[in-house]
Amino acid sequence: MRRCALAVLEAFPEVEDYLTSRQRGERNVIPLAQALREAHLPSDLETLELALGRLKFDEYLFLELRVLLAGEHHLLGKAFRALDDDMHVFESTLPFTFTNAQRRAILEIVRDMRDDKQMARLLQGDVGSGKTAVAACALYLATRDGFQGALMAPTEILARQHYYSFQKYLEPLGVRVELLIGALSARE
């Protein structure tokens, strides 16, 4: 593998960097050519860390650019009514009140729901930060406008945890909650 990497680096010694030296300095990243060389043939551990940091920066930047470009071609959707009062009704049934961060996340989701473009949003937070309650609120808002929703989980255990949480949050508000997992038969 090392030999292949060396051959590629020798075949393409000049890699044009899309960042100027000023931009690299502002972002505290090394030049792209150096990052590629050091990632495959590191001179020391510290430089390897810098190289991997630059490559992670590039990966994240290009992911963001893809998201932005895709955003220009959003599929049309249906604008939801999503009233703030509905959010307060949902919150009033909880054994806790939303934190400011949760409230901000919900308001951003509400703003997206009111738009006539499909929403593409990632809800991110630490364990126990209230992501499930925020997601349940968003699904409740969708049901208030006559729609239904789904939440996908990467494991059956997490899917069941969400199912029980959503039952607790949504069924008192008249929203039927179902669990659909891969282990169920087609009939179920």
Question: Do 58 and 96 share a domain, yes or no?
Answer: no
**CA angle 113–117–119, rounded 5-degree value:** 55
Tell which of 49, 71, 93 closes a domain.
Answer: 71
Q: What is the pLDDT of residue 54?
A: 94
Question: 116 and 55, same structural domain?
Answer: no
What average pLDDT does the chain have?
Answer: 86
The Cα 134–Cα 159 span in angstroms is 16
Task: Residue 77: name the closest of 168, 145, 159 by CA.
Answer: 145
Residues 110 and 52 in one domain: no
Using a pLDDT cut of 90, give the percent of the chain over it: 44
- pLDDT of 82 strictly over 80: no
Residue that is last in its domain, among 71, 96, 116: 71
* Cα(141)–Cα(90) distance, integer angstroms: 9
Query: The pTM is what?
Result: 0.57
> Residue 120's pLDDT is what?
76
Q: Which residue, of 48, 71, 94, is where some domain finishes?
A: 71
Q: Region 94-108: what's the mean pLDDT?
A: 92
What pLDDT score does 152 carry? 87
pLDDT category of residue 75 using cuts at 50, 70 and 90: low
CA–CA distance, 188 with 184 (Å, rounded to integer): 6
CA gap 82, 144 in Å, rounded: 7
Q: Please indicate, yes or no, whether residues 32 and 8 belong to a single structural domain of this protein.
A: yes
What pLDDT, in 10s, does the model give residues 126-164? 888 889 999 999 999 989 888 888 888 888 999 999 999
Residue 130 vs residues 45, 125, 149: alpha-carbon distances, Å: 38, 8, 19
When divided into structural domains, the chain yields a total of 2
User: Do residues 96 and 158 share a domain?
Assistant: yes
Residue 165 included in any domain: yes
35 & 102 share domain = no
**Is 180 inside a domain boundary?**
no
User: Could you tell me the residue range of the domain that residue 40 belongs to?
Assistant: 2-71
Residue 187 in this model has a pLDDT that exceeds 80: no
Q: How far apart are CA 78 and CA 74, in angstroms?
A: 12
Structural domain contains residue 104? yes
In a shared domain, residues 45 and 106: no
Q: What is the pLDDT of residue 9?
A: 79
